[in-house]
Amino acid sequence: MTAALHTLLEHAQTQRDQGLMALQQAEAETQRLQLQATQLLAYRDDYRRRHPAQDGRSASIELLRCHQGFMERLDQALAQQQAQVQAAQARAAARRSELVALETRVAAVRKLQERRGAERQRHADRLDQRRSDEAAAQQWVRAAQAAALQP
Show the domains of the chain with their CATH numbers: 3-149 (1.10.287.1700)
More confident: 58 or 67? 67
Q: Does residue 151 have a pLDDT over 70?
A: no
Q: Does residue 147 have a pLDDT over 70?
A: yes
More confident: 57 or 137? 137
Per-residue pLDDT tens for 110-134?
Answer: 999 999 989 999 999 999 999 999 9
What's the pLDDT score for residue 1?
57
Q: Does residue 138 have a pLDDT over 80?
A: yes
Nearest to 85 by CA among 50, 121, 41, 125: 41
pLDDT > 70: percent of the chain:
97
Using an 8 Å Cβ cutoff, are 138 and 59 in contact? no
Query: What gap in Å lies between CA 59 and CA 61, rounded to an integer?
Result: 7
More confident: 146 or 4? 4
pTM assigned to the model: 0.72
Number of helices (H) and strands (E) in the chain: give both, helices first. 2, 0
Helical H segments across 2-60, by residue range: 3-49
What's the pLDDT score for residue 3?
87
DSSP E strands, 1-151: none
Per-residue pLDDT tens for 2-22?
Answer: 888 889 999 999 999 999 999
- Residue 67 burial (CB < 10 Å; 0-12/13-18/19+)? middle
What's the pLDDT score for residue 148?
80
